[in-house]
Structures are given as C-alpha cells and as structure tokens.
Amino acid sequence: MKYRFLFLILLIVGCNKQQTTSTSLLDYIPTNTTLLIAINDNSVFDSGLVNNDFLKSLRKNEIYEAVFNKLQGLNHANPKTKSILAFTELGKGKFEFVYITKNKPDLFEIDDVKDKVIETLTYENRTVNKYILDGRTFFSMALEDKLVVSSSQILLENLIRSKGERKLDPTLEKLYRIANPDKPATIFINANDANSLLYSMAKEGSTIDFSHFSDWISLDIDMGQDHIDLNGVSMANDSIKQYINLFKNTAPLENITSQFAPANVDAIASF
C-alpha cells in the first residue's frame, strides 16, 4: 500500500510539472547563410569593430563598406544577452543581414532619433515593423521570445514561411556548441558559399576556390585597436574533395619556430 501511495504522488507531481521549451538562436538564421557571428559580449565586440585598425582599412572594400553601412541601424540596439548576426548573399556580391537576440522591451532605443519613420506591415498574419532611421531601412519582427531584425524584408518573409520546417546544418550546430563563450564573439564561415565574400578580401586576380577548402570554419575572435586574435577549427565533408582533408589523421605539433628566430625580428611566418 505504501508503494502505491508513493507512486501516486510521483504521478501527480509529474503531471503538474510545467513543460518549458527553448529555441536556439540558430533556429532563426537563413538556410543559405554565408557568414555568421555569435556575439557573446556586445559592447566589447562593437568597440573592436569601430576601433580596430585592420577593420578600418577594410572599409575601402566595396562589399565591407556596403555591409557596414547597413549595420548602422543596429547602433540603436542594446542587447543584454547573446545575439547572432548572419549574412546572406541576395544577388551577386550583395549581402543582407539578419540579427537575432532575446526580445526585451528596451532593446531598441530610438526615442531620440529625429529622422525616423516607422510602419507596421503584415505578412501571413505576422506583424513586421519597418524602420527608416536617418535614411537607413531595416525590418524587425518578434518570434517566440526572440526579436529578429534584418536589412531585407524578403529574408524575414522567408523565415516566416519556413519556420519549423528548416533543418540546421549539423556541422554548423556542432561548431556552435563548442565555440568559446568567454570570447567576445565567434565567426562561422560557410566555405561552400563564401567565394564572393572572401574574393573581395583576397589579392586582386586571385583564383582560389574557397569552396574546395573545407565545409565550415569556426573562429573565436578577440580584438583590440592594434590586433585581432583568431583561434578555431575547420570541418570537412568526407564525401567531397576538400583541401583540409590533406591533414586528416595527422597529429598537431607545437609551433616552436619563434625559439629559433633572431631577437630583433619584426615578423615571423610559419606553416
């Protein structure tokens, strides 16, 4: 009898337990994402983007400048939790962004913006807000407990249509799980679709096909005004010929080149 009474208590507790579900930020990225940045510390990452000398020099690059200008609307965002910034190519060399973070009432601070227009749109019974701030246009919508912001209305509409039907790339999922949460951000590059983006940063006349290098590349990033530190891994598809497979079954070795360099050396290149 005692055992029956105990079983009844456990059954009642189990039935009354609230079921909670949580969606990953990855669930909201476009299926054809070329580059993704998981931002752990928004203030440190933003500071690096603005002040880093190398990134300043990249603003002369046509694609980088166009993307950088589109991102200016996010200057009004003040996220308190982890966020994701994904870039997708819509048309050759034309990249649009999708920004995802947990939704908060004070996430966007636009009360002081004088030059602004706000419109409310509807798509498949979903509310989409259109913002024009200081001449720059972006769109936003709330999905579950997340806020999704994009420079492209098309990307938000695609997300609405495909929500719950899309499958995440398992390689990206694996790299996302092992990324260092203590770094300001982690960059994920889809090498299969990154030719347009990486060609723009490569030496003029370069014919390297980056899609043959690997599948996905993950890089934890730490940067200051005069440095960028990248540390990460790359994963390949065993069924496709990719350069990174040349290192398959090889053990890593400690790099000791610096121990043999002259004391007054300015730079070292080691492979």
Cα-based distances in Å from 171 to 31, 174, 200, 240: 13, 5, 25, 14
| Cα distance between residue 85 and residue 97, in whole Å | 7
Mean pLDDT of the region 137-166? 88
Helix ranges restricted to H, the chain: 2-16, 42-51, 53-58, 62-70, 153-162, 170-178, 195-199
Q: Residue 46 burial (CB < 10 Å; 0-12/13-18/19+)?
A: middle
Say if pTM beats, i.e. exceeds, 0.85. no
Model confidence at 48, in pLDDT bands (50, 70, 90)?
confident
225: DSSP letter: S
Cα-based distances in Å from 24 to 17, 38, 83: 22, 12, 10
Does the structure show a pLDDT above 60 at 199?
Answer: no
SS3 76: helix
Longest dimension (CA), the chain: 84
**186 with 219: CB under 8 angstroms?**
yes
SS3 69: helix
Does the structure show a pLDDT above 80 at 208?
Answer: no
pLDDT reported for residue 50: 80
Q: Which of 10-14, 25-29, 191-195, 233-237 has the lowest mean pLDDT?
A: 10-14
Highest mean pLDDT among 110-119, 178-187, 236-245: 178-187
